[in-house]
Amino acid sequence: MLSLTIISHTPHYYGNDGAIVGLEPTVREINYLSQLFETIYHVAPLHSADPHNATSSYISKNIIYIPIKPTGGEKIFSKLNIFYYMPYNLYKIIITIVKTQWIQFRAPTNLGLFVLPLLSVLKNKNKWVKYAGDWEKKSIPISYKLQRWWLRMNLQKSIVTINGNHNKQQSHLLSFVNPCLTEKEITNNRELGYNKTFIEKFTLCFVGRLDEYKGFPALLDAIGCLGKVEWIDKLHCVGENSIDIQKKYLIPNNIPIIFHGILNRQEINQIYEDSHFIILPSKSEGFPKVLSEASSFGCIPIAPPTTAIISIINEKRKNGIILSEITSKGIKETIEKLHKMRYELSTFSENAMDNARQFSYEKYNKRIINEIIQD
């Protein structure tokens, strides 16, 4: 079998028992990817902070974690430390990739400023870049624009997997979905989703960072502007939480808002099971895994009009609802529309569950075998 080096910015931590844990969605995906490789080395930053609930450990014995120094952040010093730690991180990456036939780099990230040039000079390696962001978004950081231009020009000479289908898409760009569910989970979640009714009060949920980039303030403004609405029961908010965040976003409203903080997968699944809609009014997205996870429970996605999202979710297919505007006004108008659509929503819910079938790890691995490894 083949061996693979994955280079990513996925945060890792020391767990309570001293074992390494990483961000659950990525670790879980790599656990399933390990079925295709004899050995996987994952080069990613190791943080000194305590792990949060949304972390998990590697269960496959053929996955070897290689720690590097974390870089980047909001402050100027944090942004510049990528150059301070670059020699060390580059050394750890190079001594790892010489061991494997395949290299996967997960972009965009500040690591790309030196990893992509490195990939460009490697002639005897099979390379695969997984681009997770919005492939067509114009207002992105300069470093991300540079990485996207590099990948478009294919200076690194590799396959690049992207979200969504795009006009004039070059042959080295492959449209791939982000897997997040097993076939068994899809079947089990579907059984729970069929119990959902849309006749009584609606429960809404938001899963993601509680910040402006993810559209969280606009969502709460929209909820506040709705006034007294008898047909909405509550809004679940899942994401990093603190008293300061709750005070910052505290607004007068008649709809209960529940701040859950960061939850593990089982706890988030309970939110999806309880909710009728997931709202994600992000300014920029690839295709977030939370939309497909929620859809598998018959939780109807309400999402921004990015190319990657509207190629999979739209009202014509009746599998989700696209926001006309990423503003509090646009979100409010969309939520108000739900009440008028209530007798159609069971169809939307069922179609959302059907849509979730394409996001299985099993389908993902088959495509990797057929279109990447054996390309």
310 burial via Cβ count (<10 Å: 0-12, 13-18, 19+): middle
CA distances from 3 to 126, 133, 172, 332, 371 (A): 10, 26, 22, 50, 17
For the stretch 56-76, pLDDT in tens is: 999 999 999 999 999 977 677
**Domains: count for the chain:** 2
141 and 198 both lie in a single domain: no
Report CA Rg, the chain: 21
Residues 171 and 188 grouped into a single domain? no
The residue with greater pLDDT, 3 or 285, is 3
Q: Are residues 214 and 271 in the same domain?
A: yes
Residues 124 and 261 reside in one and the same domain: no
* CA 243 distance to own-chain centroid: 26
User: Are 217 and 173 part of one and the same domain?
Assistant: no
In a shared domain, residues 133 and 199: no
Same domain, 92 and 24: yes
Query: 213 and 158, same structural domain?
Result: no
Find the mean pLDDT for residues 86-96.
Answer: 97
The DSSP code for 360 is B
pTM for this model (two decimals):
0.92
State whether 235 and 173 are in the same domain: no
Map 14-73 to HEC letters: ECCCCCEEEEHHHHHHHHHHHHHEEEEEEEEEECCCCCCCCEECCCCCCEEEEEECCCCC
Amino acid (one-letter) located at 266: Q
pLDDT of 327 reads: 92
The answer on 124 and 245 residing in a single domain is no
The CATH number covering residue 250 comes to 3.40.50.2000
**28/55 Cα distance (integer angstroms):** 10
- Where is 118: in which H helix or E strand? helix 112-121
pLDDT tens by residue, 326-368: 899 999 999 999 999 999 999 999 999 999 999 999 999 999 9
How far is the C-alpha of 24 from the C-alpha of 30, rounded, in Å?
Answer: 10
- Find, among 139, 75, 103, 85, the residue nearest to 7 by Cα: 103
**Which range marks the domain in which residue 330 is found?**
183-359
Q: Per-residue pLDDT tens for 136-175? A: 888 888 989 999 999 999 999 999 999 988 888 899 999 9
Output the pLDDT for position 253.
66
Asked whether residue 55 falls in the same domain as residue 44, the answer is yes
On the question of pLDDT at 243 being above 80, the answer is: no
How far is Cα 353 from Cα 356, in angstroms, rounded to an integer?
Answer: 5
Q: Give the pairing of strands 55-56 and 20-23.
A: antiparallel
CA distance 347 to 298: 10
Please give the sequence-ordered ranges of beta strands (E in DSSP) within 223-270, or none if there are none: 232-238, 257-261
Based on the fold, state whether residues 191 and 156 are members of the same structural domain. Answer: no
373's tokens: 């490894």
